[in-house]
Chains A and B, each alone.
Chain A
C-alpha cells in the first residue's frame, strides 16, 4: 500500500467534483467537467491546472553555472537573471533522464522544475554528479504551482504581456507569486509558483477570475496537439534528443554528458525519428500500438480540436516525412494515418 501525496489544493479538487487518480505518487485531478470542455476552454479562453506535483529544486553555489553546463543539454550561459530555458538532463549515452525548465534567479542560483515521476531520480543524479561544493535542495512541498493557460489568461490575471521563457516576481489578487512565462499547452499563459500557505487563496482568485479548472487529461491532449513530448512516453533514458526532434535544445558546441553520442547521431543522421501523425481512418491510436511500417506509437489520443485520432511515434527516419502514410494496428485492425509537420494543431492567425 503506497501513500499518495496530496497537493495543497486537494480539498478544492474534491469539492469541485474532480475525478482523482494516482499519478507519479500523487493523487491528482484527471478531469472536473470533462477532458473535452476543459481542453476547449484553454484553446479559446483560459484554464487553470494544479501542477504542484512537479518537482522543484533550488540549486545554488558559485560552481552551479559550470555544473549545469555539464549536466544539461542546452547552453546555460544564454540564460540571464530573470530568464528561463527548456533543457534536458542527459545520461552518458545521450539518453534523456528528464526534460525540465531551468530558471535563473541570480548568477549562481537556479530553480529547476522537473517531472513529478523523475523527481527522485533527477535529484539523485544531480547530487551524485554535481553535489560537491554546491547546495541542492528539494523545495517541492514548500511551494504550489498553478499553470494558467489560454489566450485570455493574462487579461484575466491582470498581468502584462511578457516574453516567453522569462520570469518575474508579481502579484495576483494581492498574493506574491513567481510569474513564469512558460507552459505545456501551446497557448499564451503563465505558471505561477506560490508559497504553499497561499495556494488555496491563489487558486480561488484565479477560478473567480474565470479560469476553468482543468485536469491532467486535458493537459495531456493539449500538449499532444502541439507535439510537446511527454517524458516516459515519447522520450526517456533510452531515447536521444536528436531522434526525438529536440536537437534545438542541445548545444552541441558545449561539453555536457553524452554530447559525443549526440554529435555522432547528428552527423550520421538518426535511424528513427519521432513523427507526428493524424488518423485518416476512424479510431484512436494509443501508446504501445505497433506501426506496421516500423516502430510504435509513443503517445496517442483523440484531438478535441481536429476531432480525430492523433499521435506520435518513432518510425524509420525515411518515413518521418510529412505526407507519408502509416498503418497503425488498432487492436488488430489496420488503420491509416498520415505523418504531418509538427505541431499537429496550429492556431489560425
Chain B
C-alpha cells in the first residue's frame, strides 16, 4: 500500500527531495513522499557503507524503481552510523512509509549549523507544488 501525500513538520528538506530528522548530533535521512511517488515502487536501495563520510549535497547512495534510478543527495554532512536493513531487504517499505519504517540511513552530524540552510515543511511543500 502506497502512503498518502504528506510532509511532516518535524523534518527538514532539500530541493532534491531528501529529508532529515535531526536529533541532537545525529540525523536520520530518507526520501520524501514526492520522490517515491515520482519514482514508483522501489526495487533496489544501494546503500553507503557503515562509517562512510557523506558530504552535504553529495550522493550517498541510489534508489531504483523498475524504470528509473535516482541518486540520494544528502541534506547534511556526516558519518554513516547505520543503514536501514529493512529497506535493503524490502525497498518498497519506502513507498509504504517514507518517513517512518522507510528511513534510509542514520548519520552522526559533521556540522550541525548546516541544518539552517534546509527548507522547513511549508517551504518544501511550496517548492513541490511548483514542480
Contacts and interface: CB of A to CB of B under 8 A. Distances in A.
A35 interface: yes
Given A34-B40, A302-B43, A221 B62 contact: no
Interface string B62-98: 1011110100000000000000000000000000000
Contacts of A307: 43
A301 B46 contact: no
Contacts of A221: 66
A286 B65 CA distance: 12
B41 A36 contact: yes
Contacts of B40: 31, 34-35
A331 interface: yes
- Chain A interface size, as a band, is 10 to 19
B67 A35 contact: yes
A282 B43 CA distance: 10
A284 interface: yes
Q: Select the residue from B43, B62, B65 with max chain A CB neighbours within 10 A.
A: B43
Interface residues of B, number: 11
A235 interface: no
Contacts of B41: 34-36
Contacts, number: 38
B21 interface: no
A116 to B, nearest CB: 18
Given A34-B40, A34-B41, A36-B41, A302 B66 contact: yes
Contacts of A35: 40-41, 65-67
Contacts of B46: 282-283, 333
B89 to A, nearest CB: 10
A157 interface: no
A218 to B, nearest CB: 8
Contact of B66 (A36, A282, A283, A331): A36
B36 to A, nearest CB: 11
Interface of B: 40-41, 43-44, 46, 62, 64-67, 69
Given A34-B41, A301-B67, 16 more contacts: A35-B66, A36-B41, A36-B43, A36-B66, A217-B66, A217-B67, A282-B44, A282-B46, A284-B43, A284-B44, A284-B64, A301-B66, A302-B44, A302-B64, A302-B65, A302-B66
